[in-house]
Structure 1
Amino acid sequence: MAILRSLIRALRPPRRTTAERLAAFPTAGLAVEKDVTIRWNDYQVPFIDAESDHDLFFALGMVHAHLRGPQIALFIHFFQGRLAEVFGPVAKRLDHALRILDYGAAVPEIERTLPDETRHCCEAFLGGINSYNERMTELPPEFGVLGLKPERHTMATLLAGSRLASTDFTWITYMSLLPRRARPGFTRLWNRTIEAGESPTPGAHAEGTPGMLEDLLVGAGRAGSNSFAVAPQRSATGAALLANDPHLGLSLPSLWLLGGLRSPSFHVAGFMIPGLPAIMLGRNPDLAWGGTNMRASSSDLYDVGDLPAEQIVTSETTIKARGWRSSRHRIRRTPFGPIINDAKALNVHGRPLALRWVGHEPSDELTAFLKAARARTPDEFRAAFAPYAVSGQNMVFADRAGNIGKIMAVRAPLRAPFPKDDPVLNAADPATHWRGFQCATELPWVVNPPAGVLASANDRPLGTDVPIGFTFGADDRIRRLYGLLRAHDKISIDNLRAIQTDTNAPDAAKVAGELAQQIEALNLPVRPDKFLRRLSRWNGDYAADAFGAAAFEALLFHLVPPLYGGKRQADLPDLLGQWSYLTTFLLRDLMAIKPAKRNKILRRAVAKAERDAARYRQWGDMHRLRIGHTLARLPLIGRAFVVEDLPVGGSRQTPMKMAHGLVNRRHAATFGQMARHISDLGDPDANWFVILGGQDAWLGSANYADQIGLWLRRQYIHMPLRRETVAAEFPHVMTLKASA
């Protein structure tokens, strides 16, 4: 009965104004040394002003608990492999896989070696979270639905949470490929994976059949993104400029939380991950930074079938499930990492395979970001990332002195080149073993390129012989970014906003034009002239009102499966629907087959695509932004948690990414650009941010999804750093009082 009442409350939450939500924030009798001022703007974005670093991080912990308490609780369940306690027995396999992958494996050693300064910041932050949870007079609506309750946050859960964003992107490749490893043609598929250089991403699955584990793992990592910097000689303001837009899962609450911080050691504004005490992307008075996932391969797979029995340690773990009985599951570990065959969710069969991951060894990402937030020069910024390991990031920066640059924030294993024919290495062969690592201060970096502009879009890093990875983003997005940057002699803030919302994919127009030529050569009995005009005249723009994009996508949907021997997309490896694969191989493979078969495939694809495209005049009629709470995944009642279902532009590799797989009907983008940031280093107040969603995770809050309109209108929230500007623009003021 209690669950039913909670469900009704969650489905119809009472409306809470910003003032009402802030009134629920406890302000008295707190473990702060002196009074702390928190100013809030109308979007419930905080700016914390404290007289000590301890008080700053204590207040920050309270802010995180206030705005994102349920999300933090779910994160803890995720990285501890306890999702079945929330979602029931359906999540048991997922929990077993997460416990085998073991995000917290290195936590004891990380905690033991944590620098004192970082430890003190973390302890204060934990004190703030726990203090807020102890003083809550009303639990968030979804707590009852999901069976959650506030749990005491510890250093162990915080440090394990710092690995939440450390997922290795190549895991998704392995999950997609390993079930096919025993089938004919696997060697060709693996070599083409390396050549195409891209992995499946959330939103690439056929609608209605999402890969839950894959989506969760990539959604937990900083999987995509664009970042670009402009030197003063190319800037319309005369100062260096920095822009960044992360690409992650499109759901509520967002994986980003926006805020500003000021104390004796910190003066910074930017995006944080809920539950972690660090600005990941942002700006201090001297330096601004953004990042894109490097797609570094921080893992290797090893065949450990011939290891001596004493090198395999077996244990059991108990998984509890909501509304169901507990069960015990086997976990086996080797010197090369856990054996992943035991996780049924990973669908790995045959000889035992171990996963060696850099993240199973101690590193210190929190200290790296805390130091980066205080960096004043390129050298200080680079040095900050010396203890950083996973997930690999291309960190782009710009500073007040006019420098721009990019570093490789990663701990890269020193190893042999990635193997051909098979991703699995032989554990018995010493040549396959790692021989140490290189970190950010040992890997190449770029400072002040002659062109005066610098961009990153998950593209392949250059300038190093260390094997970094094999799943980099398609080149067309980085080429498009550089083309847009070089189109202006002097680049303005408005130009940066336009680049962040650009929906053009030139390579798509090229593929569409060549397919149109092939179709015209068929001399079909009934010529699809209207369809051909849409295809051949399309310029590659995936704007919501674009006329040709739906025709092109419908054609791909009906062309790709028969070309590769499947009746539908689900019959094919996920890789074959990825954009890099299509641009690398589609036309080549189409022209390689016999003309009679090629013409037959094209005729049938055109006939079906023409019917589909006729139903969708504009791209936005087919391509939707359907954004809602995580509870929108639930059967039957999920639709009640959808906030918006709107036409949206963008595609797989447009600068404004809105990813999808092979589609021929109305579908939702579930992975893409979900936040934006721009800073002008000539003015400490010239910083603008926006989240595709809202700050407050409380269902019914006025700030639950109030930034969606800003995002759609290409508007931003102003985040100044000067104290007087903050006072003028953040009108809701509260004071946290120390206990007597």
Structure 2
Amino acid sequence: MMSSTIKQFGRRTRQAFSLAGLASSVLRRSAVRRFPALSVEERLAMLPATAPVDTSLAIRWNDNHIPFVEAGSDRDAAVGLGIVHGHLRLAQMELMRRIALGRVAEVAGSAAIELDRLVRLIDFPRATEASLALMPAATRAWVDGFADGINAAAEARLPPEFETLSIPYEPWTAEQLFAVSRLCSADYAWKVWRTLNPLREDPEWARMWSELIGIAAVADEDIPIGADNLEDALPNAFDRAGSNALAVAGSRTRSGVPMLACDPHHIITAPNLWLIAGVRTPEIDVWGFMIPALPIFGVGRNQHGAWGGTNLHATSSELVDVSAEPLQDRTIAIKAGKATHELAARESAFGPVVSDAHAFNMTSGTVALHWMGHRPSDEFTPFRNLMRASSWETFADAVDGCALPGLNMIWADPAGHIGKMVAAHIPSRPLATPGDLVVGPAEAHRQWARLLTGRELPMSLDPADGYVVSSNEAPVDPPVTISLFFAADHRFRRIGALLAERDDLTAADLKALQQDVMHAPALAVAEKLKLTASDIGLAGPVMDAIAAWDGRYGVDSAGALAFELVSEPLVETLEERSPQRFVSPYWRPFSRLERLVDAATKADLVDALKAAVESAAAPFETHRTWGGLHKVRLSHPFTKLPWLAARLPTIEFPSGGSNDTVMKSMHPFTQKVHHTNFGANARFVADLADEDGTWAVLLGGQDGWPGSRTMFDMLGAWRRGEQIRLPFSEAGLAEDFRHPTPIAPPAPAGPDA
């Protein structure tokens, strides 16, 4: 099955699908059947001819399998978008649905029981019924139409994964779409808690906790590379953990009209966690990025403006000590193959007792998860309103209604306005640093008694600098504590510096900016190493490369390679000699290096550098450049199955970028060849001076169908820094979108029906 989750989760997932009781008949079918190569035309022939629409609609496709839906009403347009999602990503969506509902073990068997137990404990669908009841009739019609479209695509043709794993198809409903939405709203703080909770028993915890809250130790959006357990990584599998977004005013563009750019950061996988789509009705015209199974445009442009966003890293959850609170027992029934397993769970007035679950790494106590996602809220309507936003005010009205997942939202419009505001509902937490990760019941009641919305939180409209930027940085002067764990400001400062240099920016400049791999703080550390080496006469190819390095993590950079090869043994040696313990081997690797180098005595730094350079010599001679060590691998998740690996394409290539560069490409400190599992995975640019001036590209391609030509076909454009035009004009659509597929209403029932 089919999504980023499997690629990220490693060993446990391989066990689940290879050892957990898949029938031998399924394995035999998998072993002998190949997935044939399919052209765009062959794939489009799999679309349904009819769907539950009131009038015929048309879907135009370009050569990259990007769709533009044209319909006579909004509801019919939603059906068309549902058909698009079902056609391109139905298998990926099935995994997302099963994860959201805690039903993976039904297919994967007993190895996925703990995963399902965790998901059932968190209970993503908990607020579904109440939230759907909040939706206006027009939004509910949109959501129901989207589900109808998915089911129409499924009736026409199921992806091969369903047969290979003997997955029965179940029609999608609005309730299930909402559950997936809540899965995608998982709180960023959960991954931080997973790292920190075991340390709360450490004698040095008070000191480490106080340091973490300081500017030097805020959290970055790293996912532990090499995480072994499916349930460990699950809570944040689909949330938008990173991203860059920016808007520039007309005072900084060659055309005199604003532009917007966004490059989301996510798990690296095939198929991508985004798909590109467009839609037109008498009321809306939109191009943008959608998450499979969600009927919203997270990044987009209409005829009146453009929007994008980044993860706010908002703490929309609280860990609450419920050891003295009344608890209720409940039973979770999980099907694994033909067997049903009944597992115990506990509930409090604040939420589920997650100290019983492995994923949160609670080592003691009775602790409940108090999460915004367990409260009723309607995020579909605000994002539906974004498709109609025509000004900063209508944009702000839409954003103000968003409670989850916690985003920084950027806006630009042809009238000349640019701005940034928070899309989240935030508990009224004091600005003082809390004493611990876990709060008491009285404190939780007090903080959650009032929620602040976007208009009460930091925002910026038409700043004098002529640009707004978001890169998961801490908001300026918030009235309450939004989070304790924001990203380092390296990307934020780099983007701002590049924009501030120019008053003649073009769309080509913004596309180039999205590929920037400069890391000035790393260059500063390299300069310290260079001076230390010079003082003691330490020379050779590794130090020569570091001395000549310009700070850029280019794919062909020898300096970036040398710096990274030296960093791993340098950190290890300096940590052994450090009088203080640092938080985690996965906690902001560059920050760890920077702090260790700054804090080291000269004697310790000299000894550590000598050993590090010696250790780096052989791998430096072998790999030569940063791209020789640092790579991207795109493959269908079925390649985890040994009997299918040879029958599915895998694409691997050298990559530039690093943890803290604008073109984000996550990696650990290592001297071994490695594959980034998190980073930039999509790019979007909108020039509001030109109705056809919208472009986008995915790392990989649109289609999730094994063997499809468009599963990886955007890779060349991605590596060259090119993007695909998304026009609004009829002339542009006629030129680029030459594959029309009509969808008709169902045939009238005959007299004998």
**TM-score normalised over the length of structure 2:** 0.91
Q: Provide, for residues 45-91 of structure 1, a one-character-per-residue CA deviation record: whole Å limited to 9, x for no partner.
A: 11111111121111211111111110111110111122222333222
Mapped to 2, the partners of 1:81 and 1:720 lie a distance apart of: 40
Pick closer, same or farther for the CA change 1:51–1:339 going to 2, 3 Å.
same
Q: Which residue of 2 aligns with 1:333?
A: 347
Amino acid aligned to 1:701: S
Q: Which residue of 2 aligns with 1:84?
A: 105
Q: 599-608 or 360-369, which moves further after superposition? A: 599-608
**Deviation of residue 646 (structure 1)?**
0.6
Mapped to 2, the partners of 1:132 and 1:564 lie a distance apart of: 56
Q: Which residue of 2 aligns with 1:8?
A: 31
Segments of structure 2 that go 5 or more residues without pairing to the other structure are 1-23, 749-753
Q: Which residue of 1 aligns with 2:550?
A: 539
Q: Is the 8 A contact 1:97 1:346 kept in 2?
A: no
Q: Which residue of 2 aligns with 1:170?
A: 189
Pick closer, same or farther for the CA change 1:419–1:681 going to 2, 3 Å.
same
Q: Which residue of 1 aligns with 2:653?
A: 646
**Deviation of residue 132 (structure 1)?**
2.4
Mapped to 2, the partners of 1:732 and 1:599 lie a distance apart of: 64
Q: Provide, for residues 19-54 of structure 1, a one-character-per-residue CA deviation record: whole Å limited to 9, x for no partner.
A: 1111111113x3211111111111111111111112
Q: Provide, for residues 319-353 of structure 1, a one-character-per-residue CA deviation record: whole Å limited to 9, x for no partner.
A: 2224x743222221212221111112333221111
Candidates 109, 126, 131, aligned match of 2:152? 131
Mapped to 2, the partners of 1:725 and 1:273 lie a distance apart of: 25
**Secondary structure in 2 matching 1:161:** helix
Mapped to 2, the partners of 1:430 and 1:355 lie a distance apart of: 11
Q: Which residue of 1 aligns with 2:598?
A: 588
Mapped to 1, the partners of 2:392 and 2:85 lie a distance apart of: 30
Q: Which residue of 2 aligns with 1:405?
A: 419
Alignment of 1:509-524 (within 5 A): 509-522=523-536
Q: Is the 8 A contact 2:219 2:588 kept in 1?
A: no
Q: 82-91 or 264-273, which moves further after superposition? A: 82-91
Q: Which residue of 2 aligns with 1:280?
A: 298
Mapped to 2, the partners of 1:314 and 1:24 lie a distance apart of: 48
**Secondary structure in 2 matching 1:317:** strand
**Deviation of residue 225 (structure 1)?**
0.6
Amino acid aligned to 2:679: G
Amino acid aligned to 1:236: R
Alignment of 1:512-661 (within 5 A): 512-522=526-536, 527-565=538-576, 573-583=584-594, 585-591=595-601, 596-634=603-641, 638=645, 641=648, 643-661=650-668
Q: Which residue of 1 aligns with 2:460?
A: 446
Mapped to 2, the partners of 1:640 and 1:604 lie a distance apart of: 44
Alignment of 1:23-38 (within 5 A): 23-28=45-50, 30-38=51-59
Q: Provide, for residues 518-559 of structure 1, a one-character-per-residue CA deviation record: whole Å limited to 9, x for no partner.
A: 344445xxx343221212221210010011111111222112
Alignment of 1:121-160 (within 5 A): 121-136=142-157, 139-160=158-179
Pick closer, same or farther for the CA change 1:437–1:696 going to 2, 3 Å.
same
**Deviation of residue 728 (structure 1)?**
2.8
**Deviation of residue 599 (structure 1)?**
4.1
Alignment of 1:357-436 (within 5 A): 357-417=371-431, 419-429=433-443, 433-436=447-450
Q: Which residue of 2 aligns with 1:289?
A: 307
**Deviation of residue 418 (structure 1)?**
5.9
**Deviation of residue 215 (structure 1)?**
4.2
Mapped to 2, the partners of 1:458 and 1:636 lie a distance apart of: 41
**Secondary structure in 2 matching 1:690:** strand
Candidates 218, 221, 239, aligned match of 2:236? 218
Q: 90-99 or 260-269, which moves further after superposition? A: 90-99
Q: Provide, for residues 633-657 of structure 1, a one-character-per-residue CA deviation record: whole Å limited to 9, x for no partner.
A: 4567557645211111000011111
**Deviation of residue 175 (structure 1)?**
0.5
Pick closer, same or farther for the CA change 1:657–1:489 going to 2, 3 Å.
same
Pick closer, same or farther for the CA change 1:419–1:211 going to 2, 3 Å.
farther
Amino acid aligned to 1:168: D
**Secondary structure in 2 matching 1:338:** coil
Mapped to 2, the partners of 1:291 and 1:213 lie a distance apart of: 28
Q: Which residue of 2 aligns with 1:488?
A: 502
Segments of structure 1 that go 5 or more residues without pairing to the other structure are none
Pick closer, same or farther for the CA change 1:716–1:429 going to 2, 3 Å.
closer
**Deviation of residue 606 (structure 1)?**
2.9
Pick closer, same or farther for the CA change 1:189–1:432 going to 2, 3 Å.
farther
Alignment of 1:187-336 (within 5 A): 187-195=206-214, 196-199=216-219, 201=221, 204-205=224-225, 208-210=226-228, 212-213=230-231, 215-307=233-325, 311-322=326-337, 325-336=339-350
Mapped to 2, the partners of 1:632 and 1:460 lie a distance apart of: 39
Q: 595-604 or 490-499, which moves further after superposition? A: 595-604
**Secondary structure in 1 matching 2:297:** coil
RMSD, matched Cα: 2.3
Q: Which residue of 1 aligns with 2:362?
A: 348
Pick closer, same or farther for the CA change 1:433–1:680 going to 2, 3 Å.
closer
**Deviation of residue 678 (structure 1)?**
0.5
Q: Provide, for residues 365-415 of structure 1, a one-character-per-residue CA deviation record: whole Å limited to 9, x for no partner.
A: 111110011100001001002221111111111101011111111111102
Amino acid aligned to 2:42: E
Q: Is the 8 A contact 2:220 2:487 kept in 1?
A: no
Mapped to 1, the partners of 2:697 and 2:577 lie a distance apart of: 42
**Secondary structure in 1 matching 2:568:** helix
Mapped to 1, the partners of 2:121 and 2:629 lie a distance apart of: 39
Q: Is the 8 A contact 1:204 1:662 kept in 2?
A: no
Q: Provide, for residues 411-435 of structure 1, a one-character-per-residue CA deviation record: whole Å limited to 9, x for no partner.
A: 1110233645521112255786423
**1:179 maps to 2:184:** no
Taking only the aligned residue pairs, the percentage that are identical comes to 36
**Deviation of residue 718 (structure 1)?**
0.8
Q: Is the 8 A contact 1:553 1:662 kept in 2?
A: yes
Alignment of 1:660-739 (within 5 A): 660-739=667-746
**Deviation of residue 18 (structure 1)?**
0.7
Amino acid aligned to 1:738: P
Mapped to 1, the partners of 2:39 and 2:58 lie a distance apart of: 21
Q: Is the 8 A contact 2:58 2:740 kept in 1?
A: yes
Mapped to 1, the partners of 2:565 and 2:228 lie a distance apart of: 20
Candidates 64, 68, 82, aligned match of 1:43? 64
Q: Is the 8 A contact 1:316 1:330 kept in 2?
A: yes
**Secondary structure in 2 matching 1:328:** strand
Mapped to 2, the partners of 1:596 and 1:444 lie a distance apart of: 46
